[in-house]
Amino acid sequence: MKLTQQDMARLFDIDPRTLRNWRKDKPFLYATIIKGLAFDEIVEAQKESYEKVKELQKKYGDSK
């Protein structure tokens, strides 16, 4: 899911201008925020995959 800067600002309860200023004046902070959001997205995708595997195991039986 691609978040706009407006979406990210809402998520962090800050003004969009603050986020733009961080991007310009504090690139390390901005990059850390972006990486954190990407990490959350990856974790959520892995969680969904794991849940699908568990459903398949229930449905078709455990192959252990």
Domain locations in the chain?
Answer: 7-60
Digit-coded pLDDT (tens) for 1-52: 688 999 999 999 999 999 999 999 999 999 999 999 999 999 999 999 999 9
Q: What is the pLDDT of residue 2?
A: 81
Query: Is the Cβ–Cβ distance between 23 and 30 less than 8 Å?
Result: yes
Q: Is the per-residue pLDDT at 54 higher than 70? A: yes
Q: What is the pLDDT of residue 6?
A: 93
First-last CA distance in the chain:
36
Q: What is the pLDDT of residue 1?
A: 63
Q: What is the pLDDT of residue 30?
A: 95
pLDDT bin (cut points 50, 70, 90) of residue 61 is confident
